[in-house]
Chain A
């Protein structure tokens, strides 16, 4: 197994915040006592007048961000994914989604890779509860470089958006030249027998699994779908028409996330056999991030086994 370069997504976030802050004087950033963890502290150091620490008050955080947007500012609100989406869901619903205020929510610490803090802090339901909100975009980047693109493109687009980042370092897939567009998926590897769609940390695992499967004579197509909503249904459907089978993998509950979104699309446009792979209908537990990925079968080995089983059963 070759060594991969791992880079911290949150550092990418802190860096792009400063970059955007220099360019846009109407940009403001809010946090809820986690600025040093989310890395919004980088922005706060450079632009103290445009940074608001709301303390441990996530509901207040979201509605205040909405108020700043009403006043003509372009706010980004950050905290951990569980608090951003879970604690303040109804504030987001009324003051951001329904009111269609120009607020971007960038949450770190999504998914199981939060690690040792355990189930109360491991947000596995955020894609589900955010994507059901009208007017809300839901995006989750796959590596350090994609974080920068996603935050930039989402910030520059009008209207509400939710972006999920993680605590863990992710293996690097892309480089500086990587481009992301809202509502677009990207085929990272072409294949014939199965379409595998990933989001976030599963994208790299899918690429590794595909490489190993190739050695066993199995050809799978790998698609990165950071934009869960709007979904690039067309690209996925095109691939499904070619392979006839779709496997989805996500660091999220199998209920309501990327897999559900794709199955909603395909079942109404081009039904194919699907496997929705992720965290089963359960809460997480404490452990090291990478141990947990392996425990829940979300490392490349677990994903490879799941693909083989799906191919065999279908």
Chain B
């Protein structure tokens, strides 16, 4: 059972991650805040409730693997890794600077805890399949998690990999689609529609669960569901809101790849701090 206390703890972390995302992209004056904010609650649950890992031993052989296929969501990944203890939080403000190991897109050789170098879309699910094969060969019980974007589903390789997962009955892998509905050039439905998303995955041989990607109980339950599925790969289609958590960024295409201005950064941080305070005052 998940207690109210647990949920509150996760909510607190997700607000922390959102503040990091705003600060990192605001200070770097570049980066992708929108799709980082939309997946923040999912990644919070993964890193602080679901996955087994050892920050002091990033290559621990029994760890669960997280592959960020939508590699542009680095602000979110780095915030989670820093909060989890893989590297000091003080490094986050240097995101995208020449002196920093925090590259614009994930680099597995430079940043502790980053499992795979990504950025060019569509490759993460294939990589995750490969890792899942390796776990099965070694008879490890650990799981592989891969987070994709909805725009990313336009990449043909995603569907090559989808067939691989189903054909090889890869059930030690959980896929998540961060379905926020927006991509750089506009609404996904207008650029090149990907719907029906859930039906597509089902037709490709996957078990699919659709959830509200900002409802912590639903997210936790979905990961439990996936872990209990046998003989088929599992996909969580998480309906999310781009820019979630910062009112003036929510649902705005612009904030896919445009950082907040200094003024917007201050405004966003104030709003998130206010939410933190409200959460603190909330009675369980």
Q: How far apart sit A70 and B124, CA to CA, in the bound complex (Å)?
A: 12
Residues of chain A lying within 8 A (CB to CB) of residue B122: 59
Given A95-B127, A99-B117, A70 and B157 contact (CB-CB distance below 8 Å): no
> Given the interface contacts A70-B127, A99-B109, does A64 sit within 8 Å of B164 by beta carbon?
yes
Instruction: Chain A residues near B73: list those with CB within 8 A.
Output: none
A70 touches B163 (CB 8 A): no
Nearest CB to that of A66 among chain B residues? Answer: B127
Per-position binary interface string of chain A over residues 95-130, scored 1 when its CB falls under 8 Å from any chain B CB and 0 otherwise: 100111000000000000000000000000000000
Interface string of A257-279 (1 = CB under 8 A from B): 00000000000000000000000
- Interface stretch among B9-17, B131-139, B195-203, B250-258? B131-139
Contact yes or no, B120 A55, CB < 8 A: no
The reply to whether B118 and A94 form a contact with Cβ atoms under 8 Å apart is yes
Q: Which residue of B lies closest to A25 (CB)?
A: B137
Q: A237 vs B13: C-alpha distance in the bound complex, in angstroms?
A: 61
Q: Does chain B have a CB within 8 A of A69?
A: yes
Interface pair A63/B117, CB less than 8 Å apart:
no
- Assembled-state Cα–Cα distance A52/B137 (Å): 12
Assuming the A-B contacts A67-B130, A68-B134, A70-B130, are A100 and B109 also in contact, with contact meaning beta carbons closer than 8 angstroms in the complex? yes
In the complex the two chains form, is B134's CB within 8 Å of A64's CB?
no
Complex Cα–Cα for A289 and B129 (A): 38
- In the complex with contacts A59-B157, A99-B109, A100-B109, A67-B127 CB distance below 8 A: yes
Q: Which residue of B lies closest to A69 (CB)?
A: B130
Name the residue among A55, A70, A75 with the largest chain B CB count within 10 angstroms: A70
- CB-defined contacts of A68 to chain B, threshold 8 Å: 130-131, 133-134
* Interface residues contributed by chain A, number (CB under 8 Å): 29
A57 and B120 CA atoms in complex are apart in Å by 17
Q: How far is the CA of A28 from the CA of B131 in the complex (A)?
A: 12
Cα distance, A54 to B129, chains bound together (Å): 11
Residue B266 interfacial (CB < 8 Å): no
A91 and B157 form a contact (CB under 8 A): yes
Task: Judge whether A99 and B116 touch: CB under 8 Å.
Answer: yes
Size class of the B contact interface (CB-based, 8 Å): 20 to 34
Q: Which B-chain residue is minimally distant from A49 (CB atoms)?
A: B137
When distances are taken between beta carbons in the complex, the residues of chain B under 8 Å from A91 are 123, 126, 157
Question: Interface code B162-205, partner A: CB below 8 Å = 1, 0 otherwise?
Answer: 01100110000000000000000000000000000000000000
- Which residues in B have their C-beta under 8 angstroms from that of A55? 160, 163-164, 167
State how many angstroms separate the Cβ of A167 from the closest Cβ of chain B: 25
Please give, as numbers and ranges, the residues of chain A lying within 8 Å of B129 by CB-CB distance: 60, 64, 67
Most chain A beta carbons < 10 A, residue from B65, B109, B137: B137
B contact residues around A49 at 8 Å (CB): 137
Residue pair B137, A64 in contact (C-beta under 8 Å): no
Q: Complex formed: what's the CA distance from A71 to B144 in Å?
A: 10
Q: Which of A52, A59, A62, A67 contacts B131 (CB 8 A)?
A: A67
B128 — nearest CB in chain A belongs to which residue?
Answer: A67
Q: Are A59 and B160 in contact (CB under 8 A)?
A: yes
A237-273 contacts to B, CB under 8 A, are none
Q: Determine the main DSSP class of A at the interface with B.
A: helix
Give every chain B residue within 8 A of A94 (Cβ-Cβ).
117-120, 123
Bound together, the chains give a CA A75 to CA B116 distance in angstroms of 16
A50 near B: Cβ within 8 Å?
A: yes
Whole-angstrom distance between the Cβ of A155 and the nearest chain B Cβ: 17
Q: Does A90 contact B (CB under 8 A)?
A: yes
* The one of B65, B67, B108, B130 that contacts A64, using a Cβ cutoff of 8 Å: B130
Report B65 CB to chain A, min CB distance, Å: 7
Cα distance A88–B61 when bound, in Å?
Answer: 29
B161 located at the interface, meaning its Cβ lies under 8 Å from any Cβ of chain A in the complex: yes
Among A28, A57, A67, A75, the residue within 8 A (CB) of B163 is A57
Which residues of B have CB within 8 Å of A67?
Answer: 67, 116, 126-134
Please indicate the chain B residues that have their CB under 8 angstroms from the CB of A100 in the complex.
109
Establish whether residues B164 and A57, one from each chain, have CB atoms under 8 Å apart when the complex forms. Answer: yes
CA distance A62 to B123 in the complex (A): 9
**Could you jot down 12 A-B contacts, CB within 8 Å?**
A55-B160, A57-B161, A59-B157, A60-B164, A63-B130, A63-B157, A64-B126, A64-B133, A67-B128, A72-B61, A91-B157, A95-B123
| Residues of B that sit less than 8 Å from A by CB | 61, 65, 67, 107-109, 115-120, 122-123, 126-135, 137-138, 156-157, 160-161, 163-164, 167-168
If A64-B129, A70-B130 are given as contacts, then 14 extra A-B residue pairs at C-beta distance below 8 Å, sorted by A number, are: A52-B133, A52-B168, A63-B126, A64-B126, A64-B161, A64-B164, A67-B126, A67-B128, A68-B130, A70-B65, A70-B131, A94-B118, A94-B119, A99-B109
